[in-house]
Chain A
Amino acid sequence: MAGKGGATPATYSPSPTTNRKKKPPIFKEDWVRPDGRGFHQCRPAFFRTGAVNAASGSAYAEFGNTKVIVSVFGPRESKKAMMYSDIGRLNCNVSFTTFATPIRGQGSDHKEYCAMLHKALEGAIILETFPKTTVDVFALVLESSGSDLPVVISCASLALADAGIMMYDIVASVSVSCFNKNLVIDPILEEEIGQDGSLMITCMPSRYEITQLTVTGEWSTTKINEGMQLCLDACAKLAKIMRSCLKEVASDSQE
Chain B
Amino acid sequence: MSLRRLPALDPLGTLLSAVGVVALVFLPFVVFKANRIVPGEARALLEFLPAWAALSFVLVLALVALVAVGVSNARVRLAFALAGVIAVASAVAAAGNALTPPGNQVIRISPGAGFWLLLIGLGLLATDAVTRMRPGPGMRVLLLVLSVLAAGLAIASGAFDHLSIMREYAVNSDRFAREARRHLLLAFGSLAAAVVVALPLGILCHRIPRIRAGVLGVLNLIQTIPSIALFGILMAPLGALAAAVPWAADLGIRGIGAAPAVVALFLYSLLPVVANTVVGLARVSPAAVDAARGMGLTRGQILAHIELPLALPVILTGIRIVLVQNIGLVTVAALIGGGGFGAFVFQGIGQTAMDLVLLGAIPIVMLAFSSALLLDALVDLMNRAAR
Q: Is chain B a partner of chain A in the same complex?
A: no
A residues lining the B interface (CB < 8 Å)? none
